[in-house]
């Protein structure tokens, strides 16, 4: 993109706050920036201020933009987009945190949900800095307007309303309990709230609180009061929720820069005592030319990029001690609006803390905490030649019902979701047998050539000695010669066939295993919940069995098979099941 093209295209941009993106011919995001006035800011790229920016503009073939209500919203949205797209020409924090958004999907009956990866066609609000407050507000909106929050899978082909309808969170458009017109009217009210009309939600909450108080339902009134406060504070600061902070906490940041590699160390102090320390790796932008840096690759520039990205869903401290003030004035304004005291100490104990953070950052640079280095460190610790591919396994069930296994894949420290697999297992309440079956299935497919994925360098089992022994038995039976270890949740120790490792909690290679383990657990639970929803539909066809009775039955007996095997007397012992209903259950099942 040349200068003339930039000048020509910016004429269509508004003079409002927002975020802009430069993209290459393949649609890859090269750079993300924010602006007080989009047209004026993007026009400046016709005369690039540095060699690095000039190269970026030359590579770009298009740009996109999004308008925000305030400069603070632009700051948060910029951080979100940088984390999502990892643009080559931005400073990038290498983690997967981002600010929560709220989306109303583009369905016939829109769904409301909190997300960090919104659908392209959805109506999206945010980003917000306090997820817990967003959750409170979304729940209050659902209770007042009955907007569905279920997945498409749960929504489709229902004959009866689900539990959300029974507890007042949804008006059940899936089964026609609400007219199309009324549901869309309720959706419009929710949109009005997110667009700034607080009274849409605060007024009914106020009335409900007063009614509960008059009825002497003081616990409910107190709960409604807390919700009302959250709702009324929701649009403060231009739409960002105010974060509750412990006023005794202080975060100290140190920055070490080596070329385009950047490490930020954070120390946390409470009541004058250091209680935590950690380090984070960032990818810096390319230098302008040999030996020359940019404002973004300076300590002040790194802090401007790191602070909004790091505190995406973490509690802000009461104070920040920094080696330099961030170069971006919007970051300073945002911190000030959130009540965070920012200082650059010159002498005294606070200055000593900043020096200590700097030493930690330099030490992190020497040790290396890139994801590829994490894998190399893991291979060294386990005595393996190389670890590029790790497969993680976990099992999920409810008292032996809806038993499923997950198989996730990480390549060079990052999840490869195209290589995820899942397996429905035999229904039994035996974690060891379930893990043995899951690993046997994976090994059989690998040995027989049915699995199109390459063999991993390491298998990671979510569990302890028992689960590991079960997995090793399956590997021995199938002659699949792959190293296998387990990571126990109780004390985060790594178990192998030969020994147990108790690595420091900040060991990068332990963090890699924890990411794989946690993802395997998430994927297993997600599949298990899907199957449980399908299993419970068998009871949906039994007259006299509503959602509450169905839940009581499953809690009492654990599975449909156990309910089938129960006697009339045993069925009658379940709350909500009378003699006639018990007979009906026995006849139908």
Residue 264 domain flag: yes
Q: How many domains does the chain have?
A: 5
Of the pLDDT bands very low, low, confident and very high (cuts 50, 70, 90), residue 269 is: confident
Same domain, 271 and 399: no
DSSP state of 67: E
Q: How confident is the model at residue 248 (pLDDT cuts 50, 70, 90)?
A: low
- Whether residues 265 and 353 fall in one domain: yes
Residue 150 lies in a domain: yes
CATH of the domain at 36: 3.40.1440.10
- Domain shared by 87 and 125, yes or no: no
Instruction: Give 337: exposed, middle or buried? Use CB within 10 Å, 0-12, 13-18, 19+.
Output: middle
Q: Which of 239, 267, 297 is the last residue of a domain?
A: 239
Output Rg (C-alpha) for the chain, integer angstroms. Answer: 28
* Residues 525 and 391 occupy one common structural domain: yes
User: Which residues, at least 6 apart from 439, have a Cβ–Cβ distance to it below 8 Å?
Assistant: 393, 459, 461, 470, 471, 474, 475, 484
Residue 240 — very low, low, confident or very high, per pLDDT cuts 50/70/90? very low
The answer to whether residue 174 sits within a structural domain is yes
Domain shared by 512 and 394, yes or no = yes
Indicate whether 468 and 552 sit together in one domain. no
Would you say residue 366 has pLDDT above 80?
A: no
Q: Are 429 and 473 within one domain?
A: yes
Give a yes or no: residue 349 inside a domain: yes
| Ranges assigned E (strand) in 401-536 | 401-411, 414-415, 421-424, 458-462, 484-487, 494-495, 500-501
CA dist 129 and 242 (Å) reads: 7
Peptide bond into 127 cis (omega under 30): yes
What local confidence, expressed as pLDDT, does residue 368 receive?
Answer: 41
What is the average pLDDT value for the chain, to the nearest integer?
Answer: 81
* Helices 329-337 and 299-310, packing angle to 10 deg: 40
List CB contacts of 302: < 8 A, sequence separation 6 or more.
Answer: 91, 255, 257, 262, 264, 282, 284, 296
CA–CA dist 182, 180 (Å, integer): 6
Q: Compute how many other C-beta atoms are within 10 angstroms of the C-beta atom of residue 561.
A: 13
| Residues above pLDDT 90, as percent of the chain | 16
Tokens at 185, concatenated: 């009217």
Residues 142 and 181 reside in one and the same domain = yes
The pLDDT value recorded for residue 347 is: 67
Which pLDDT band, with edges at 50, 70 and 90, does 144 fall under?
A: confident
Give me the helices (H) in 342-478, please.
348-367, 371-382, 431-448, 465-478
Number of neighbouring beta carbons within 10 Å of residue 580: 11
Residues 391 and 518 in one domain: yes
Q: Which pLDDT belongs to residue 92?
A: 66
Residue 323 maps to a domain: yes
Strand partners, 20: 33, 65
Of 532, 553, 575, the domain-final residue: 532
> At 323, which CATH number?
3.30.420.10
The predicted-structure confidence for 205-214, as pLDDT tens digits, reads as follows: 788 888 888 8
Rounded CA-CA distance 390/515 in Å is: 11
pLDDT band at 390; cut points 50, 70, 90? very high
List the beta bridge partners of residue 257. Answer: 262
- Residue 241: is its pLDDT beyond 50? no
295 pLDDT higher than 60? no
Residue 121: per-residue pLDDT = 79
Residue 487 is assigned to a structural domain of this protein: yes
147-193, pLDDT tens digit by residue?
Answer: 998 888 888 878 888 888 888 889 899 988 889 888 898 898 888 88
CATH number at residue 572: 1.10.150.20
- Taking 80 as the threshold, does the pLDDT of residue 259 lie above it? no
- With contact defined as beta carbons under 8 Å apart, do 27 and 48 qualify? no
pLDDT for residue 272: 57
| 107 pLDDT higher than 60 | yes
Q: Which helix (H) or strand (E) holds 78?
A: helix 71-85
DSSP annotation of 44: G
Asked if 548 and 588 touch (Cβ cutoff 8 Å), the reply is no
Same domain for 472 and 385, yes or no, is yes
What region does 479 belong to: left with phi over 0, alpha with psi -120 to 50, or beta? Answer: left
Six token digits for residue 381: 């610790």
Do both 132 and 262 map to the same domain?
no
Examine the fold and report which residue of 212, 239, 266 is the final residue of a domain before the chain moves on. 239
Give the model confidence (pLDDT) of 508-553 as tens digits. Answer: 888 889 989 988 998 888 887 766 655 555 677 788 888 778 778 8
Quick one: average pLDDT of 218-223? Answer: 78
In tens, the pLDDT along 321-354 reads 999 999 888 889 889 888 888 988 876 667 777 8
Structural domain for 558, as ranges: 536-588
Pick the more confident residue, 166 or 223. Answer: 166
Query: Quick check: is 545 in a domain?
Result: yes
Is residue 244 included in any domain, yes or no?
no
For residue 443, what is the domain's CATH number? 3.30.420.340
Q: For 439-496, what is each residue's pLDDT tens digit?
A: 999 999 999 989 888 899 999 999 999 999 999 999 999 999 999 999 987 788 999 9
- pLDDT beyond 70 at 99: no
Do the Cβ atoms of 494 and 484 come closer than 8 Å? no
Residue range 20-64, pLDDT digits in tens: 989 888 888 889 888 888 888 888 888 877 777 888 888 898 888
Is residue 108's pLDDT more than 60? yes
Q: In what order do the strands lie in the sheet with 101-104?
A: 112-115, 101-104, 123-125
Same-domain check for residues 77 and 133 = no
Residue 244: is its pLDDT beyond 50? no
């Amino acid at each position: 993109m040349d200068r003339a093209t930039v000048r020509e295209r910016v004429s269509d941009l508004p003079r409002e706050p927002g975020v802009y993106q430069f993209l290459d011919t393949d649609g890859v995001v090269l750079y993300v920036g924010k602006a007080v006035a989009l047209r004026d800011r993007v026009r400046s790229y016709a005369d690039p201020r540095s060699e690095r920016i000039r190269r970026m503009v030359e590579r770009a073939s298009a740009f996109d933009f999004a308008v925000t209500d305030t400069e603070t919203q632009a700051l948060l949205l910029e951080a979100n987009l940088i984390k999502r797209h990892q643009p080559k020409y931005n400073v990038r924090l290498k983690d997967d945190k981002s600010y929560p958004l709220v989306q109303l999907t583009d369905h016939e009956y829109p769904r409301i949900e909190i997300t960090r990866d919104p659908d392209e066609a959805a109506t999206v609000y945010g980003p917000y800095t306090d997820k817990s407050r967003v959750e409170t507000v979304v729940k209050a909106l659902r209770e007042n307007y009955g907007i569905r929050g279920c997945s498409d899978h749960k929504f489709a082909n229902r004959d009866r309303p689900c539990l959300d309808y029974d507890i007042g969170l949804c008006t059940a458009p899936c089964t026609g309990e609400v007219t199309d017109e009324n549901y869309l009217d309720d959706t419009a009210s929710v949109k009005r709230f997110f667009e700034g009309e607080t009274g849409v939600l605060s007024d009914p909450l106020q009335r409900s609180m007063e009614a509960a108080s008059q009825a002497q339902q003081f616990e409910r009134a107190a709960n409604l009061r807390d919700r009302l406060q959250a709702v009324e504070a929701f649009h403060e600061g231009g739409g960002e929720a105010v974060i509750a902070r412990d006023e005794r906490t202080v975060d100290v940041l140190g920055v070490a820069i080596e070329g385009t590699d950047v490490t930020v160390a954070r120390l946390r102090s409470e009541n004058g005592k250091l209680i935590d320390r950690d380090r984070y790796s960032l990818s810096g932008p390319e230098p302008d030319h040999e030996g020359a840096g940019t404002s973004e690759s300076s300590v002040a520039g790194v802090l401007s990029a790191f602070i909004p990205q790091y505190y995406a869903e973490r509690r802000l401290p009461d104070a920040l001690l920094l080696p330099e003030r961030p170069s971006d004035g919007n970051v300073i304004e945002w911190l000030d609006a959130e009540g965070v005291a920012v200082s650059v100490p010159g002498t005294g104990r606070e200055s000593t803390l900043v020096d200590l953070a700097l030493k930690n950052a330099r030490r992190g640079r020497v040790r290396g905490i890139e994801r590829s280095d994490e894998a190399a460190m893991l291979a060294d610790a386990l005595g393996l030649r190389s670890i590029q591919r790790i497969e993680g396994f976990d099992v999920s069930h409810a008292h032996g019902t809806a038993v499923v296994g997950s198989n996730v894949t990480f390549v060079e420290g990052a999840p490869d979701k195209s290589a995820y697999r899942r397996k429905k297992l035999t229904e039994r309440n035996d974690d060891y047998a379930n893990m043995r079956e899951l690993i046997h299935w994976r090994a059989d497919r690998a040995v027989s050539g049915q699995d199109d994925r390459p063999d991993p360098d390491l298998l990671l089992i979510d569990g302890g000695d028992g689960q590991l022994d079960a997995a090793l038995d399956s590997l021995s039976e199938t002659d699949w010669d792959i190293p296998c270890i387990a990571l126990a949740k109780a004390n985060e120790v790594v178990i192998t066939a030969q020994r147990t490792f108790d690595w420091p909690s900040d060991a990068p290679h332990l963090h890699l295993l924890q990411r794989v383990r946690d993802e395997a657990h998430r994927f297993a639970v997600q599949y298990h919940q899907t199957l449980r929803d399908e299993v419970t539909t068998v009871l949906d066809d039994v007259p006299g069995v509503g959602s509450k009775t169905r839940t009581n039955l499953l809690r009492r007996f654990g599975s449909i098979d156990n309910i089938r095997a129960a006697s009339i007397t045993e069925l009658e012992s379940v709350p909500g099941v009378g003699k006639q209903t018990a007979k009906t259950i026995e006849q139908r099942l």
